[in-house]
Structure 1
Amino acid sequence: MSASSVRRILRRHRLDPAPRRGGPSWTQFLRAQAGGLLATDFFTVETVGLTRLYVLFVVEIERRTVHLAGITAHPTGAWVTQQARNLLMDLDDRVHRFRFLIRDRDTKFTAAFDAVFAAAGMEVVKIPPRAPKANAYAERWARTVRHECLDWTLIWNKQQLHRVLTDYLEHYTGHGHTGR
C-alpha cells in the first residue's frame, strides 16, 4: 500500500497521522541489538571423490566474526550438540553478551542443541519455514565463502577443507570483512 493511499484513508476517517516518536531510528535499533545476536547454519561442500561434507558455522552479527564450528560427512543431532558445547567453550567469558541464536528448522538442530544455548542464557529463534532471508547473515556468509574461496578450490577431504576454511577465515577477518 502506498503512502498516499494511507494518507487518503486516514483523512477519510478524520484521523491524524501518528506523531513522530523520539528514540532510536530503525538502523540504530538494529545495531544496538546486533551485539547480542548469533546466527548459525550449514552449507555443504562436495569433494573430488563426491563425498558431501557438511560445514557448521556461527556468525557473530555485530562483529561479523565467523566461527567454524565443525565439519563432518555425517551430521547427527549428537554431533551438532557437541559442536555447540565446543563453541560456547571457545566464546568463554564473551558468551554472556549474546541473547539470541538465529537458526533454521533443520532437523539436525535438536532440542538438545537448543538446550545448550538455553543453559548459557540465550534464546533460540527459529526462522520461518522456507525463509532463508530471515537468517540473512548466515546465508550471506555461506554465499561469500563459496564465491570467494570454495568455487575456486578442489577439495579432496575433510582435513583439506578445514585448512582451506581456516585460512579463508584468517583472510576474511583480516581484510575488513568484520565490523559494521
Structure 2
Amino acid sequence: GHRFWFLLRDRDTKFTASVDAVFAGAGIDVVRTPPQAPQANAIAERRIGTACRECTDRLLIVSERHLTAVLDSYAEHFNTHRPHRSLGQHPPDLPPAVAPTPDSTIRRTRILGSMINEYRNAA
C-alpha cells in the first residue's frame, strides 16, 4: 500500500541512466545527492550501517530469499523492541505496556536463531 514519490541516491557509477529510467517509469523521481557531500545521505548510511553491524555481519546469508527473511525479522525487532536514544530509549512502534507485578516473570523471545533476544514482562 505505500507509494514512493522519490528515490534519494548517491552519485555512484553503478547507477546508470537505465536504473533511473526504471524508477522514472514507475513515477518515482530520482534525486541525486550533491557531489562530494557524504553527509547528505547520513540518515540512510546510519540505518544501513546499524543493520549490517547488528544483523547481517553476524550471519551467513545463503540466498536472496534468506536475506529478505532476515532483514524483515530484523526490521520488526528494530521498530517494535530495540531502544532508540533519540526516542528516550523507546522503540518507534511502542507496544502496549504491561505493568510488572511482584509475581510476574520475564519472557524471552529469540530472534534470528538466538542472535537477538527480546525480553518482556509476561502478562
> Could you say which TM-score interval applies, normalised by the shorter chain?
0.5 to 0.7
When residues 155 and 131 of structure 1 are mapped into structure 2, their CA distance, relative to the original with a 3 A threshold, is farther
Alignment-derived partner of residue 129 in structure 1 = 35
Unaligned runs of 5+ in 2: 82-90, 94-123
Deviation at 1:119, TM superposition (A): 2.7
Which amino acid letter does the alignment assign opposite residue 112 of structure 1?
A: S
**1:155 has 2:60 as partner:** yes
Name the CA shift for 1:173/1:141 in 2 (closer, same or farther; >3 Å).
Answer: same
Partner of 1:102: helix, strand, or coil? Answer: strand
The alpha carbon displacement at 1:124 in A equals: 1.0
Equivalent residue runs for 1:22-171 within 5 Å: 94-95=2-3, 98=5, 100-151=6-57, 153-159=58-64, 160-171=66-77
Which structure has more relative contact order (CA 8 Å, sep 6+)? It is 1
Identity of aligned residues (%): 51
The Cα shift of 1:104 comes to: 0.8
Query: Cα deviation per residue 1:129-162 (whole Å; 9 max; x = unaligned)?
Result: 34331112210111111232234x1315235434
Instruction: Report the TM-score, using the length of structure 2 for normalisation.
Output: 0.52
Deviation at 1:171, TM superposition (A): 1.4
CA contact (8 A) 1:101 1:123 kept: yes
Secondary structure, aligned partner of 1:101:
strand
Instruction: Find the aligned partners of 1:173 and 1:119 in 2 and give their Cα distance.
Output: 31
| Residues matched between the structures, number | 83
User: 2-side partners of 1:156 and 1:134: how far apart?
Assistant: 30
SS at match of 2:78: helix
Considering fraction of residues, name the structure with more helix.
1
Structure 1 alignment gaps of length 5 or more: 1-92
Against the structure 1 CA distance between its residues 121 and 146, is the aligned structure 2 distance closer, same or farther, given a 3 Å change threshold? same
1:25-52 CA distances to partner (integer Å, 9 max, x unpaired)?
xxxxxxxxxxxxxxxxxxxxxxxxxxxx
Q: Given that residues 101 and 122 in structure 1 are in contact (C-alpha distance below 8 angstroms), is that contact kept between their aligned partners in structure 2?
A: yes
Preserved CA contact (<8 Å) 1:132 1:139: no
Question: Looking at CA atoms only, which structure, 1 or 2, has the larger radius of gyration?
Answer: 1
Local SS of the residue matching 1:118? helix
TM-score by length of 1: 0.38
Query: What secondary structure sits across from 1:94 in the alignment?
Result: coil
Aligned-partner residue type, residue 63 of structure 2: K
